[in-house]
Chain A
């Protein structure tokens, strides 16, 4: 069960506004129990993200937390939106690139005057982009 990535965008009120799973293409997606654990890990890492982001001037915080085999990597945008990836193998550069591309995508998306900040992102174009970058940088 390695090579899985769970991507979350967490808004200012700590709610996830976008989530996506990236599985290696050969693997079957796992069931719900897994999801609960991943959400738990991601949510619990928020404290550490908040702590880490003051220690560096970089937006990419690398791995901020670890729980059993799971790592939590984080990225904080200029407007304090947090990107989290829960993953089970090391891929620092891939995740960094993924975050950078998603940051770009998110900025473009948030420019849309019809998008209200801190509300869930419901956009097929955004999902496609995320999927594309996930395949390119994470699961490939």
Chain B
């Protein structure tokens, strides 16, 4: 159906019709007009073009208006004859069709308006409103038609699942609607919607066909393909479609061509050009993909390559159209389409033997190419004749392929779609490789490789391909990477490895430098500083086989120059300065973890361990990145000494070791060392200085010397004593200090006990060294008086760390004395002695105190809350020349002192009896209230206040100290 045919129609009748009128009506489409539409759709500005027909020749089935052009210019003629003619004409018009009577003179028009009672439909040909009236009527006619068709389309669509419904017929109907809308300039998008609906409906049908039983009309689309023409309107195709006799591609091409035409129509400068034209390429790719999918779903049979051929053809045509819009040809959809076409073309090329590098197409392939070319049909309307040409000759094919690929590649890059570009580059590389241009292929592949860095399988895939395009050094590096790739199978890696060994033979002497981490993982580097510089290196080899390498580890002795921070492009590893390095004999590195030791050769250096280099076959140098792997230093060490001993006990002969570790120069045979001890420490046989001779000792070796010493600490106050030894020798410039720690093994304390006038001294010995000791022969020497040890076993006693020992002597002394305690210590058959001195103050018993609590007079027993008497007796053993002060110290929770609590006794008689009143507060066995006695020195001239002086320990003996009194509960008063 041609759009020209579907224009709205204006018919004309009457003598008034002439060239003027014709040119007048032809201007109908010159101006746009607001089209108010029903069903809530927004108004649109449209232009209506109409075709003019004489009434007799007018086609039917088109929106139309009828016009009657009267030539009558005077009112009389109108009345006599013209009016009848017009009325007859009006009656002949079918109902619902718009009509208009155009009269030559305004006054006749006025007359007609009143007489025909149709003021809107009679107009003078000179009236300026004539055009507007015509347009309005045309729009009304079209609107009516649109509504009618729209309803019909909707009704048909509802029936789509009924038996006998046919897509072809439905398409014809909806196309009418589309065509009608297409006549309105400015409403092409509405027409496009109709085709989009058709497209969507069909797509849905095909999609459902894979799930449910397809309707019979769909079967025709499953017919084998006989031709695969590109875009273009083919009236036969439309006929076939309507009759359900078309192929799938025919239908798709037809729909898309319609859509394309409408898009192009919409693509007028005044429209938003960019938006619409970008849709052309954007719509094409889904079409191609959907089609190839639908061919599969419907199981359409077609010669191999036909679908690709068709896709390329359509792509080429669309790209050709896009070329008219310079901004479009470089748009993303166009590039994607181009990319798609490239892929399809590549497939075609492989199928038909058109790829470079081969022997050219075989005769079968030539036949297939001819067959495919024939299927494209005659000259396509949108360009795209290149494909036919390309199918015929490899050269043309390659040219076309490169053209497309480079266009897509350039556009991708331009739009910043770097990964898409690299993917396409990857494909292009295949092509160039076939063409025998490995350099170009390598360039594309290297670029593609950067895009997939870190994606193991992709990387290896591209790298394997890249290896095919490289030579020499680069090839060696690629092979090494492949051999070390854990993604590949072991067998494949071994192949790469053997190829690498072959290549290395052909490399010139410069060899190549490769990053170490591509093949080995540097696990750790442990530097050992000192006179013998070493480094332990741990690496993990990913190579499939063992390899013999020359290892070396550079030492960076100076700071790197900051300004020379050069950019290190990937794969280009620079070998740093190895003038100072640790190295070793060639070593064999097995697959997996390896540890080896590198030694300093010749001079020693101080600096950072920087680069590890493993040179294989003298050609390939695996170098790690420059880094600070650790610090290595040169140490010119002196002989050092350390003390080795357990816990050393004072006052006993003890042994300890001095370990001499020889420094860089070693120790000469017979070197003399003088050891001086401080006061309180005697060495060897009792002196404070000894001289020892050392044997010959190599550097780094040890010599141990054992010394014996006795420490006699001056006092027993501290338990841990440090002694500083001073060693002098030719080994050191200055005296070498060494400190030794001693622990005092035991500590002793004394306690004085009194029984009436008898005195006992208890010496408690406890261990302070947490070791078990044997104690024997305790003695106590007094400065005055005598002492008798209480009979205990004279056998040695064992002193455990947590169990102190006690010795007791009965004393017969007068006045203050000094006592010295001695005891022998034995530990592990080593004997020592411990002694300590005590001061004892005056301690002879002078006063005896006796107290007794009894119930107050009348009562027999003590009761709580009842007054009791405390009978206190104070006796002096001999006359003393001062008064005594007594104080009652009662526990306030048990006793309440009712009367006096303190008083002064004048001891002019040997014994005093006092009665004090106390009241027990609770019942039970209560301890007696305590009585404290002090010397009372009354106030005299020297001091204004009396003074109290306490007695020394043991001078006052309390006979009733631990007595208790039984107190009964208080009597309950009723």
**In the bound complex, do residue B420 and residue A36 qualify as a contact, i.e. CB atoms below 8 Å apart?**
no
Contacting residues, chain A, for B453 (C-beta < 8 A):
13-15
Look across to chain B and name the residue whose beta carbon is closest to the beta carbon of A120: B454
Q: Mark B393-427, 1 if CB is under 8 A from A, else 0.
A: 00000000000000000000000111110010000
Set of chain B residues within 8 Å of A50, measured between Cβ atoms: 416
Cβ contact within 8 Å between A17 and B454 = yes
Output the nearest chain A residue to B412 by Cβ-Cβ distance.
A47
Is A39 a contact of B458 with CB atoms below 8 Å?
Answer: yes
B420 partner residues in chain A, CB cutoff 8 A = 44, 47
Q: Which of B452, B454, B456 has the most CB of A within 10 A?
A: B454
| Interface presence of A40 (CB below 8 A) | yes
Give how many A-B residue pairs fall within 8 Å (CB-CB).
43
CA–CA, A47 and B457, complex, Å:
19
User: Is A28 an interface position by the 8 A CB rule?
Assistant: no
CB closest residue in chain A, given B458 = A39
Complex contacts, B454 vs chain A, CB 8 Å: 11, 13-17, 120
Interface residues on chain B, number (Cβ under 8 Å): 16
Inter-chain contacts of A139 with B (CB < 8 A): none
Give chain A nearest CB distance to B767 CB in angstroms: 51
Inter-subunit contact A44/B419 (CB<8 Å):
yes
Give the size of the chain A interface in residues (CB under 8 angstroms). 19
Max chain B Cβ within 10 angstroms of own Cβ: one of A11, A17, A46, A120: A46
Which residues of B sit under 8 angstroms from A16, Cβ to Cβ? 454-455
Q: Does B572 contact A (CB under 8 A)?
A: no
Is A14's CB under 8 angstroms from B451's CB?
yes
Known A13-B453, A14-B451, A14-B453; contact A36-B458, beta-carbon cutoff 8 A: yes
CA distance A36 to B462 in the complex (A): 12
Are A40's CB and B451's CB within 8 A?
Answer: no
B131-170 interface (Cβ within 8 A of A)? none
B820 at the interface (CB under 8 A from A): no
CA distance A32 to B416 in the complex (A): 31
CB closest residue in chain A, given B489? A32
Residues of A within 8 A of B455 (CB): 15-16, 39, 42-43
Given A32-B457, A36-B458, A36-B461, the answer on whether A47 and B452 have CB atoms closer than 8 Å is no
Residue from A11, A36, A39, A47 in contact with B418 in the complex, judged by beta carbons closer than 8 Å: A47
**Complex CA distance for A120 and B454, rounded to whole angstroms:** 9
In the complex, what residues of B have CB within 8 A of residue A42's CB?
A: 455
Q: In the complex, what's the smallest C-beta–C-beta distance from B568 to chain A, in angstroms?
A: 15
Residue of A nearest to B460 (CB): A36
Instruction: Tell me whether A136 is interfacial, beta carbon within 8 Å.
Output: no
| Residues in chain B near residue A120, CB distance under 8 A | 454
Which of these, A15, A39, A46, contacts B419 with CB under 8 Å?
A46
Assess whether A90 is interfacial by the CB under 8 Å rule.
no
Name the interface residues of A41-74: CB closer than 8 Å to any CB of B: 42-44, 46-47, 50-51
- Return chain A residues, CB-CB under 8 Å to B423: 44
Instruction: Chain A residues near B457: list those with CB within 8 A.
Output: 32, 35-36, 39
**Given A35-B457, A36-B458, A43–B452 Cβ distance below 8 Å?**
yes
A39 to B455, CA, bound (A): 7
| 28 intermolecular pairs with C-beta atoms under 8 Å apart | A13-B453, A14-B419, A14-B451, A14-B452, A14-B454, A15-B453, A15-B454, A15-B455, A16-B455, A17-B454, A35-B457, A36-B457, A36-B461, A39-B452, A39-B456, A39-B457, A43-B419, A43-B451, A43-B455, A43-B458, A44-B420, A44-B423, A46-B419, A47-B417, A47-B420, A50-B416, A51-B417, A120-B454
Given pairs A14-B451, A40-B458, 5 additional interface contacts (CB within 8 A)? A11-B454, A43-B451, A44-B419, A46-B419, A47-B419
Question: Which positions in B face A, CB cutoff 8 Å?
Answer: 416-420, 423, 451-458, 461, 487
Closest 3 CB pairs of A and B: A15-B454, A36-B457, A47-B417
